[in-house]
Amino acid sequence: MVELTDKLTKFLAKKNHNHFINGIYQPSIGDDQIAVINPANEEIIGKVALGQKEDVDRAVAAAKKAFQYNSLWRRMSPDDRGKILYSLAELITDHSETIAQMVTLENGKLLKDSRSSDAGGAANTFRYYAGWTTKIEGETLDLSQPQKGGKQNFAFTRREPIGVVAAIVPWNFPVSIAAWKVAPALAAGCTVVLKPSEETPLSALLLAELAMEAGMPEGVFNVVTGDGRTTGAALTAHPDIKKVTFTGSTYTGKIIGKTAMENVTGVSLELGGKSPAIVFDDPVDFGATANGVAAGIFRNQGQVCVAGSRVYIQKKVFDKVLTDITHVAEKMKISHGFDGTADLGPLVSKGHLAKVCSYIETGKREGASLVSGGQSIKNKGYYLQPTIFSSPDNQQTIIQEEIFGPVLTAIPFDDMEDALQKANDSKMGLAATVWTKNISKAMAMINRLEAGVVYVNSPVRSDPNLPLGGYKQSGIGRELGKVGVYNYTTLKSVNIVF
Ligand code: NDP
């Protein structure tokens, strides 16, 4: 059994956690709290404040003050700003075990995934964006028309930080997705109020503590805990927020977009997915393909926005590939996240397990064949077998709607045109994977797939330098990469006439 770090033991001993505003913990205006449950055993690991509108107002006011012209943060050179972000990356690395254990406790995921994806991913993202503070640039422009009176001119653009940013994040990668937003926003010179999911708020508070230790001035990075309906809604509607950067479901994204528009607040929306994995009859290697497709759906219990939850397999090899994937799934060990031999941990919450199970029932009712799994494990904790369906009907609910759990449906296809038609026949367009050794076929698929991210012969992995975002109802905008930092800037056009 893994022993909790001293830092985490001390942190959890607090039991009741307040908001992190203006560099310190501050109690909520109200008494309402949210219990944070360990999905592996259903025990309460702590309680956080349910932020009210007044708490959000306080956090936004702190962030606004920290953004004022001439504030410490605004006067700081890009180089010094970068050093703070780099120190934060180093501190995340130093405390990666504490962060990883915290994420496993509140989310349930395997500790090895918390270490690599959350702690490791967040450190990489802060380190990457530390380098961007000194590379934000405008352009010099030759205007298309002459100046009046034969005068000369000099025209250029400059990128300025947009202002106070509201970052609203989901529970599936609580620290790394927070980093995807907080790191570029701070690199651009903005200040931030982060609202983590009510399921996974504690790791966000640890991140805020480390940011202070890294030398972040007061008010630059604030965390308000709470739920979406009260806290998230108050943040989105706040007139002093200049940009809402949201990752979550398409349903919530639409609400956020409408609310933000009341104040003409900018939004970027990273939303749901229903990503296809397309396996042709000429894969590089059958075993590696089955492992890759299985990893693409079952990693993090399928609670991944880019999860390859529908696999299209060319008819000639349909039975073989489906059997291979099923073998991989049936060998997976289901256990709690601290069990180093586990392949699959619990789902995040009781409610989410019920939602995923109801999709399995819908699949059966609509006539899909259950190939493997489908049962929740009736112990304490929210465990579910990796589940595989097979169906020729692309319109079934389990093929069209995001399930966000360890549920894969296999669908046969005839040729490339058939694969493209079926893969693109979706409201979503986040990611896709293509499995073939034929590069011409892969390129043709890359050009015609309606997806924001395409991987060939590998499940989708994120990288700080590779933009992520969706086509269609999978979102608006991209995060990560250069575009990720430019998201938090606004353009000023200047023309000096002389
Ligand atoms: P939700 O949309 O339910 O919640 C996301 C965040 O929004 C949470 O912090 C939630 O708070 C908050 N929220 C909920 N309602 C409101 C509201 N009315 N106003 C403001 N904030 C609100 O998503 P989940 O947390 O269930 O996350 C899973 C979803 O995230 C999936 O659809 C997945 O595909 C998507 N996702 C997309 C990614 C991408 O890059 N495109 C990456 C990862 C996930 P609370 O939880 O406290 O209610």
Confidence band for 46, pLDDT divided at 50, 70 and 90 = very high
Tokens encoding 271: 């939303």
Nearest to 208 by CA among 48, 77, 30, 75: 48
The rounded Cα 424 to chain-centroid distance in angstroms is 23
Q: Whose CA is nearest to atom 48 of ligand 1?
A: 228
pLDDT, tens digit (0-9, with 9 covering 90-100), for 350-365: 999 999 999 999 999 9
Confidence band for 462, pLDDT divided at 50, 70 and 90 = very high
Taking the centre of ligand 1 as the mean of its atom positions, its distance from the CA of residue 11, in whole angstroms, is: 26
pLDDT in the model for residue 379 = 81
Query: Which of 252, 270, 271, 309 is the pocket-test mutation for ligand 1 (most atoms within 8 Å of CB)?
Result: 252
Indicate the domain borders of the chain: 6-271+474-495, 276-463
Q: Whose CA is nearest to atom 38 of ligand 1?
A: 305
Q: Whose CA is nearest to atom 43 of ligand 1?
A: 305
Please provide the DSSP assignment of 133-167 as one string. Answer: TT-----EE--SSPPGGG--EEEEEEEEE--EEEE
Q: Which residues are catalytic?
A: 270, 305
> Under a CB-based contact definition with an 8 Å cutoff, are residues 433 and 277 in contact?
yes
SS3 227: coil
Residue 378 has pLDDT above 90, yes or no: no
CATH node for 276-463? 3.40.309.10
Taking the centre of ligand 1 as the mean of its atom positions, its distance from the CA of residue 178, in whole angstroms, is: 12
Q: Whose CA is nearest to atom 35 of ligand 1?
A: 248
CA distances for 110 relative to 335, 377, 406, angstroms: 9, 17, 14
Beta strands in 248-374 (DSSP E): 266-270, 275-279, 308-314, 369-372
Please state, rounded to an integer, the average pLDDT across all residues of the chain: 98
Angle of helix 174-187 versus helix 78-94 axis, rounded to 10: 160
Taking the centre of ligand 1 as the mean of its atom positions, its distance from the CA of residue 122, in whole angstroms, is: 19
What's the rounded mean pLDDT across residues 392-419? 98
User: Which residues share a beta bridge with 140?
Assistant: 156
What sign results for the dihedral spanned by CA atoms 403, 404, 406, 412? positive
pLDDT, tens digit (0-9, with 9 covering 90-100), for 143-169: 999 999 999 999 999 999 999 999 999
What 8-state DSSP symbol labels residue 150? G
Taking the centre of ligand 1 as the mean of its atom positions, its distance from the CA of residue 196, in whole angstroms, is: 9
Domain 6-271+474-495: which topology?
Answer: Aldehyde Dehydrogenase; Chain A, domain 1 (3.40.605)
Residue 323 has pLDDT above 80, yes or no: yes
Q: Whose CA is nearest to atom 14 of ligand 1?
A: 228
pLDDT in the model for residue 287 = 98
Pocket of ligand 1 (CB under 6 A): 168-172, 177, 195, 197-199, 227-229, 232-233, 236, 247-249, 252, 255-256, 270-273, 305, 402, 404, 430, 468, 470, 475
Compute the C-alpha angle 168/173/179, nearest 5°.
60
What's the rounded mean pLDDT across residues 432-457? 98
Query: What radius of gyration, in Å, describes the C-alpha atoms of the chain?
Result: 24
CA distances for 210 relative to 79, 480, 490, angstroms: 20, 22, 28
pLDDT, tens digit (0-9, with 9 covering 90-100), for 306-322: 999 999 999 999 999 99
Taking the centre of ligand 1 as the mean of its atom positions, its distance from the CA of residue 292, in whole angstroms, is: 27
What's the rounded mean pLDDT across residues 32-58? 98
Residue 407 has pLDDT above 80, yes or no: yes
Compute the C-alpha angle 147/148/150, nearest 5°.
75
Cα(485)–Cα(487) distance, integer angstroms: 5
Tokens encoding 307: 């999860």
